[in-house]
Amino acid sequence: MSKFLFVVIFLIISLSTWAQNDFDHYKQIVETTNDKHLKLAALDSVLGITWKERNFNDFIDYSLIYVDLAESLGEYDQMAKKVMNASHHITTFRNDPQLAVQLIDKAIVYESKFKDSLLRGGLYLRRGRAYVRFDTQKAINDYDKALEVFDEQDDAYKADAYLFRGQAYSNQGLFVQASDDYKKAYDYYEKANIPEYMLHARSGEIIMYSKNGFIEKGIEQREALIQDIKKLNLYQYLSIHLYNQSIDYKKLNNDKKRYELLIEALTFADSSNNPTFSYTAIYSSLSEHFSLNNNLENARKFLSKTEEYLPKIPNDRYANSIYLMAAIKYHIKSNNLILAKEKAVERLEVLENLGLDEETINTHQILSEIYLKLGDKEMAFNHLNLHTTLKDSIFNQSKTNALIYYQTLYETERKQKELSENRSSIALLEEKNSSLRRQYVFGGITVTLGFVLLFLYKNQRDLKLKKELNEKYTQDLLIAQEDERKRVSKDLHDGIGQSLLLIKNKVVLNKDDSTKSLVENAIEEVRSISRALHPFQLQELGITKAIQNIIYQIDESSELFITSEIENIDGLFNLQQEVNIFRIVQESFNNILKHSEATGVKIEIRKMEKHLHLLIKDNGKGFDFSEKSNDFKSIGLKTLKERTRLLKGTIKIESQTKKGTTLEFKIPL
């Protein structure tokens, strides 16, 4: 039991110390073995472990050992890789760019042996990054070299080189070249699809705006950048850009806005790439803000907070310079001039290798003021002098560069203006085009509409023509029918009638009585057919008599009680018209006899001044007129209509169910 417990405890201990044991294990191998290859492998493991644990001191030391060993073994590719990794940390972590340069120089000797363009270019890129800390021109030369070496496909690396060179140019005050490089970097990042770094290129340009006094423009562009960063969820960059924005507002003396931005930056500090730096910078600036507003309590508080973070990044001179500025401002406000002087002197030392001329200049100015307050006029004068000289030299140098930059910007703007002018002329052309198109469309519609109208008109005309033709046909039919009836009637009368008469005369003379009655019947039949076909009386007796005759016949042969008032209308119409009038009367009575179930009829024929008035009224059952007029089967009504039309007259039909029917005709004379 006790033995088992021991094993468990041992296991736990060994697990917790495993990584440490691993490191020691490989370290042991490195220190003891004589097999160079084994040593190299062990060193590789050590580097992996130290890297993982962010133990950069050991990482750098062992990297140096590895590089030497690899060189002696002729493992140049491996050597170059380790050089690249180590140099970055030597520059940033150990703050020893000279060492980094020496290290890289060792590797570059074997440049021709590297197959990979990335490796060669990468080395130059890293050396540039190191040089930039103390010799900007050499850095630029290395970036040039890197750009030469990188293949066309190495978009991301080329973009890096452009970005770094742009930064270097910008620091040199060569804004035109810087701007050019930033643009190229932006394009390559875009090509490589790395939106994150596209933002860096943009931010480089924005910083140049600020540097050249286009502060408002810088603020505006950075605001857009911040919005884009938020859209892309790249919160790790947010605090630094908000912080930079606050600096620009400080330059505009907009303290309120500066404060707001710092507070906002503070909320994103945790998620930034380098929270310690962010906190240091933001707290320092806040302290400075409160000092400015004579709120010494808060100024002290934020200064203390900065001091908590600062030891974590002892090598970050930039952060230190920011802190020192805040400290100087605080001590001045709290009248601790000795301390302020110390901090200012320290800051000058810190800034010495940083190349931030602007900061150096204003530190000299502040120091001069402090000395003045302390009564040390000589030192005050010295620093004021340094301030002025430095400022003038920088000013002269940057003035020219800035002028060229303005010019470029102006050129760019002019080009943009030209472009927009072109665009507007294109828009004008498009407008013109679209108006032309509108005209075409309108024209098209008009033509189509015209065709439609023409078609409708033609259709209507055709319909009218068809209707007229139809009417004419009906009328012609009526006339032809009348002619035919007349002809048949005459033939019956003149032909068969006469023959039968002769036959009868013969029969009578022969005294054959039975045959006589047969012949008489035949004659009677011919007579009635002939009479039905054509009203013989019309020609012989005139229309008035003919009408009276037919009424007499109807009166006599039917139960109808007929009241007639007929004026003499002989000689008013031609024969054809008389036939039609006679037929109208005849057909009206036919309708009454067939359909009306009337017991009484009244007929009136009056000769008016300009027309004949014919009224036929019955007391029959009537009909729904509107219903019938559309009914083509009602031939009785239809022929009445047609005959009236032949006479160019009008017909008026009044009828109601159970109330009789009145037909009223007006026929012009």
Looking at 16, 353, 459, 498, which residue binds other proteins (CB under 8 A)?
A: 498
Q: Is residue 509 a contact point for other proteins (CB under 8 A)? A: yes
Alpha carbon distance 103, 224 (integer Å): 41
Instruction: Judge contact between 287 and 325, C-beta under 8 A.
Output: no
Looking at 537, 580, 588, 596, which residue binds other proteins (CB under 8 A)?
A: 537
Looking at 602, 611, 621, 645, which residue binds other proteins (CB under 8 A)?
A: 602
Q: Is residue 138 a contact point for other proteins (CB under 8 A)? A: no
H-run or E-run covering 170: helix 155-172
Q: How far is the CB of 455 from other proteins (least distance, A)?
A: 57
Kindly report the number of other CB atoms within 10 A of residue 662's CB atom.
16
* Closest alpha carbon to 548 in 508, 573, 504, 582: 582
**Site stretch for other proteins (CB under 8 A), options 122-130, 294-302, 401-409, 505-513:** 505-513
Q: Is residue 590 a contact point for other proteins (CB under 8 A)? A: no
H-run or E-run covering 653: strand 650-655
Q: Is residue 549 a contact point for other proteins (CB under 8 A)? A: yes
Q: Is residue 523 a contact point for other proteins (CB under 8 A)? A: yes
Looking at 563, 576, 590, 629, which residue binds other proteins (CB under 8 A)?
A: 563
* Closest alpha carbon to 178 in 150, 154, 201: 201
At position 377, the amino acid (one-letter code) is K
DSSP 331-344: HHHTT-HHHHHHHH
Q: How far is the CB of 491 from other proteins (least distance, A)?
A: 13
**Site stretch for other proteins (CB under 8 A), options 44-52, 332-340, 396-404, 515-523:** 515-523
User: Which of residues 435 and 498 has its CB atom nearest to other proteins in the complex?
Assistant: 498
Looking at 166, 497, 622, 649, which residue binds other proteins (CB under 8 A)?
A: 497
Q: Is residue 48 a contact point for other proteins (CB under 8 A)? A: no
Q: Is residue 661 a contact point for other proteins (CB under 8 A)? A: no
Looking at 88, 138, 301, 545, which residue binds other proteins (CB under 8 A)?
A: 545
Q: How far is the CB of 655 from other proteins (least distance, A)?
A: 17
At position 667, the amino acid (one-letter code) is I
Q: Is residue 300 a contact point for other proteins (CB under 8 A)? A: no
Q: How far is the CB of 546 from other proteins (least distance, A)?
A: 7
User: Which of residues 452 and 575 has its CB atom nearest to other proteins in the complex?
Assistant: 575
User: Which of residues 453 and 575 has its CB atom nearest to other proteins in the complex?
Assistant: 575
Q: Give the single-character DSSP code of 335.
A: T
Tokens of 354: 């940083």
Distances (CA, A) of 219 to 63, 119, 154, 241, 508: 43, 39, 33, 10, 142
Tokens of 98: 């000279």
User: Which of residues 78 and 549 has its CB atom nearest to other proteins in the complex?
Assistant: 549
User: Which of residues 294 and 574 has its CB atom nearest to other proteins in the complex?
Assistant: 574
User: Which of residues 388 and 548 has its CB atom nearest to other proteins in the complex?
Assistant: 548
Alpha carbon distance 228, 237 (integer Å): 11
* Closest alpha carbon to 576 in 493, 506, 486: 486
Residues whose CB falls within 8 Å of the CB of residue 397, separated by 6 or more in sequence, listed in order: 173
| Per-position x/- string for 619-648, each x denoting binding to other proteins as judged by CB under 8 A, each - no binding | x-----------------------------
Q: Is residue 599 a contact point for other proteins (CB under 8 A)? A: yes
| Per-position x/- string for 351-390, each x denoting binding to other proteins as judged by CB under 8 A, each - no binding | ----------------------------------------
Distances (CA, A) of 293 to 256, 286, 297, 329, 591: 11, 11, 11, 11, 118
Decide: helix, strand or coil at residue 121.
Answer: helix
Looking at 546, 592, 647, 667, which residue binds other proteins (CB under 8 A)?
A: 546
Q: Is residue 600 a contact point for other proteins (CB under 8 A)? A: yes
Q: Is residue 561 a contact point for other proteins (CB under 8 A)? A: yes
Looking at 508, 529, 615, 653, which residue binds other proteins (CB under 8 A)?
A: 508
* Closest alpha carbon to 197 in 249, 145, 236: 236
Alpha carbon distance 75, 238 (integer Å): 42
Decide: helix, strand or coil at residue 613.
Answer: strand
Size of the site for other proteins (CB under 8 A): 37
Q: How far is the CB of 594 from other proteins (least distance, A)?
A: 18
Q: How far is the CB of 473 from other proteins (least distance, A)?
A: 33
According to DSSP, the β-strands at 600-607 and 650-655 are unpaired
Q: Give the single-character DSSP code of 510.
A: T
Environment class of residue 531 by beta-carbon count within 10 Å: exposed (0-12), middle (13-18) or buried (19+)? Answer: middle
Strand partners for 651: 665
Distances (CA, A) of 441 to 199, 432, 454: 48, 14, 19
**Site stretch for other proteins (CB under 8 A), options 119-127, 187-195, 503-511, 644-652:** 503-511
Rg, the chain, Cα only: 61
Kindly report the number of other CB atoms within 10 A of residue 489's CB atom.
20
Residues 72-131 contacting other proteins, CB under 8 A:
none
Instruction: Judge contact between 350 and 321, C-beta under 8 A.
Output: yes
Q: Is residue 658 a contact point for other proteins (CB under 8 A)? A: no
User: Which of residues 354 and 496 has its CB atom nearest to other proteins in the complex?
Assistant: 496
Strand partners for 459: none
Q: Is residue 541 a contact point for other proteins (CB under 8 A)? A: yes
Q: Is residue 511 a contact point for other proteins (CB under 8 A)? A: no
Tokens of 255: 């303290």
What does residue 115 show for φ and ψ, rounded to 5 degrees?
-80, -35
**Site stretch for other proteins (CB under 8 A), options 396-404, 447-455, 520-528, 623-631:** 520-528
**Site stretch for other proteins (CB under 8 A), options 70-78, 425-433, 437-445, 533-541:** 533-541
**Site stretch for other proteins (CB under 8 A), options 180-188, 276-284, 332-340, 519-527:** 519-527
Residue bearing tokens 């405890």: 9
**Site stretch for other proteins (CB under 8 A), options 9-17, 179-187, 208-216, 543-551:** 543-551
User: Which of residues 407 and 505 has its CB atom nearest to other proteins in the complex?
Assistant: 505
Give the interface with other proteins as residue ranges (CB under 8 A). Answer: 493-494, 497-498, 500-502, 504-505, 508-509, 519-520, 523, 527, 531, 536-537, 539-541, 545-546, 548-549, 552-553, 555-556, 561-564, 599-600, 602, 619
